[in-house]
Amino acid sequence: MCHPLVIFRLFSDQSWLSVPGNPLINWPTQPQRPKPKPLLNPPLSSLQQQQQQQEQEQNPNPNPNPNPNLLERDLAMICDLLRDPNLSSGPTLETALDRTGIKPGPGLLQAIFNHFDSSPKPLFTLFLWAEKKPFFLSTVPLFNSMVELLAKGRYFDSAWSLLLDRLEATPSMISGGTFAILIRRYARAGMPLPAIRTFEFACNLDAICCSDSNLDLFEVLLDTLCKEGHVRVASEYVDRRRELEPSWVPSVRVYNILLNGWFRSRKLKWAEHLWVEMRKENVAPTVVTYGTLVEGYCRMRRVERAIELVSEMRREGMEPNAIVYNPVVDALGEAGRFKEALEMIERFMVSESGPNTSTYNSLVKGFCKAGDLVGASKILKTMIGRGFVPTPTTYNYFFRYFSRFGKIEEGMNLYTKMIESGYTPDRLTYHLLMKMLCEQERLDLAVQVGREMRASGYDLDLATSTMLVHLLCKLHRLEEACVEFEDMIRRGIVPQYLTYRKLNDELKKSGRNEMARKVSDQIDSVPHSKKLPNTYSRGADGSRARKMAIMQKAEAMSDILKTCRDPKELSKLRSSSLTAVESANRLIEDIRGRVNRI
């Protein structure tokens, strides 16, 4: 069985980037950007910068700066160990790390964490190994990164174990940011109640309650719940606090968060009710409030009402900014009303803040969704001409279009031009490229892009690894699919049950029963869901059955349309949870019953 890296070597070592491209679109000349620096000093978020500053004040020099050349060598050696499929997480990997003789420091570990952000199990082993070294002193940002990686992989038990150990040994390592990470990850995993319990646990800690940090965990909790679709839970939690603290009045930020949550859930009635309540409580709206309302109405495709709110806030003495204008431009672009969107930008030009990169990105997105790449390219040229530097998000809208229509040559040419101009693609760029190439069954290019994705500091995550396994199965490259599947589990990524079933079925179909048994043992070794999408079926029989069901539904609907004129009856077919045939039969019986009663 081949190692995943061996799969990559099946193809040319020459990078796609070294092959001159011939773009089919005359892209505007872009300002040259500096090449990205090595990942040894990755950019930190504002929260990480604040934590790092606090750590430096407490411990001015926890680890001396090593020789940069040694640091590069150490980074390469540890990366090779983490990629080795023969080294499983735990004692085996720790022994291999000991043999290197490397003296780990926070900077080295942080660089590795950023490079392998989708491999929680080996990184946890690396972190625990480093902490056993007498000369190693961790930092708050590094500790939070470890908690983030574990929670991202849904290893919540390990994250809590690490956190509780530090609470006893070094409580200064725990901050509000640590709990904010857990709250966000619980909510993102569809677990709102554990998120609330995490918040309440943090509130009972003196170190968190008495902290001078500007981080409000209550607002973090509400914001996270709302963004992840749990706005009703957030609203009920606010109501409960009101009952427990009658004198407490929600701040304007709390109202803004809940407004955004109701709009994101497309609950217009509840959002408008909250807006009325806010005015009754004499809570003065801010520019952010109006921006939230404008964005919400634009999301509901009520642009005219959003434009009315822009006029209303002017009457209130507030000058609209990008937070307010951008959603309007975005909604007009989505609706194909480009003339009005451009007029809105020109109107925005005279304001003090003026349009920003996101404003132009909205128009690029609109033109790409409409299939007008020439129009999108003109906006890109205007954007650059006015001094705005395109971001990976700008180009990702083009990649979405290329991915949607399978335009491989155009997509790879744009990718080449991006790199040649000094732009660094982001993770989404690689996802879109991998999706396009896998759907078009271009394994050679998919593997090449995977290599460059890793070289750019992005570990193969669940989405990219899943696409690769599915493509290998489709091309009957089953040995390589098994290697990639095994490597996912080794790195701490739990494959989707659909991926397991596809691989297992293909192995059994080809008579590789021993390999199928091994794959089953691997998936059984980790907690996993056994849910499958409704469209999944095993083999050709399932495919034929699905086609027959579609044909029967079409015939049934054809008969119904000849006799039924009530749109309410027809809508029942769309909303029913029954199968297509059952829904059609039930609807026919209902109609016949009514006819018989007449």
Tens-place pLDDT, residues 218-269: 999 999 999 999 999 999 999 999 999 998 889 999 999 999 999 999 999 9
Residue 47 confidence class, pLDDT cut points 50, 70, 90: very low
Domain assignment present for residue 472? The answer is no
571: which 2 tokens?
Answer: 């809508």
Residue 513 confidence class, pLDDT cut points 50, 70, 90: very high
363: which 2 tokens?
Answer: 């128009």
List alpha helices for 84-139, DSSP H. Answer: 91-100, 106-115, 120-131
Domain assignment present for residue 352? The answer is no
Is pTM beyond 0.95 here? no
pLDDT value at residue 591: 53
| C-alpha to C-alpha distances, 579 to 422, 448, 499, 582, nearest whole angstrom | 52, 42, 24, 5
C-alpha angle 536/542/544, rounded to 5°? 125
pLDDT value at residue 482: 95
- 308 pLDDT higher than 60: yes
Domain assignment present for residue 297? The answer is no
Residue 48 confidence class, pLDDT cut points 50, 70, 90: very low
Domain assignment present for residue 58? The answer is yes
Q: Which of 491, 574, 572 is nearest to 89 (CA)?
A: 491
pLDDT over 90, % of the chain: 55
Of 194-203, 423-432, 528-537, minimum mean pLDDT range: 528-537
| C-alpha to C-alpha distances, 591 to 468, 549, 550, 584, 597, nearest whole angstrom | 48, 21, 21, 11, 10
The residue out of 132, 151, 170 marking a domain boundary is 151
The residue out of 100, 127, 151 marking a domain boundary is 151
The residue out of 102, 123, 151 marking a domain boundary is 151
Residue 459 confidence class, pLDDT cut points 50, 70, 90: confident
- 53 pLDDT higher than 70: no
Mean pLDDT computed over every residue of the chain: 82
Q: CA neighbours within 13 Å on the CB side: how many for 285?
A: 27
Biggest CA–CA distance in the chain, Å, is 91
The owner of tokens 């998936």 is 523
Domain assignment present for residue 229? The answer is no
Domain assignment present for residue 592? The answer is yes
Mapping DSSP to helix (H, G, I), strand (E, B) and coil, where does residue 40 land?
coil
The parent domain of residue 137 ranges over 34-151
Total number of domains constituting the chain: 2
Domain assignment present for residue 345? The answer is no
Domain assignment present for residue 77? The answer is yes
* Burial per residue of 203-234, b for 16 or more beta-carbon CB atoms within 10 angstroms, e otherwise: eeeeebeeeeeeeebbebbbbbbbbbebbbbb
pLDDT value at residue 18: 33
Tens-place pLDDT, residues 562-584: 566 565 555 555 544 444 455 55
